Amino acid sequence: MVSIPARVLLDTCHSVRAELLNDGRQDEQLDSFGKLKDFIKGTERT
């Protein structure tokens, strides 16, 4: 199994979310990315 750093996943979420916003699609997709982002933030080591 490949381990992906939380920071990379978080950056990817931000990029995808920005693209969705640019496309004008503010719906449950954005909500899902928000939940994923919160989950990733919660798993980051401080």
pLDDT of residue 45: 54
Residue 1 placed within a domain: no
What is the pTM for the complete model shown? 0.37
Q: How many domains does the chain have?
A: 1
Q: What is the mean pLDDT of the chain?
A: 73
Residue 26 falls within a domain, yes or no?
yes
Whole-number pLDDT of residue 14? 78
SS3 of the chain: CCCCCHHHHHHHHHHHHHHHHHCCCCCHHHHHHHHHHHHHHHHCCC
Cβ-contact 26, 6 below 8 angstroms? no
Alpha-carbon distances of 4 from 1, 12, 19, 26, 40, rounded to whole Å: 10, 11, 22, 27, 11
Task: Give residue-wise pLDDT tens across range 22-35.
Answer: 666 556 666 777 77
Q: Is residue 34 domain-resident?
A: yes
Q: Is pLDDT at 8 greater than 80 in this prediction?
A: yes
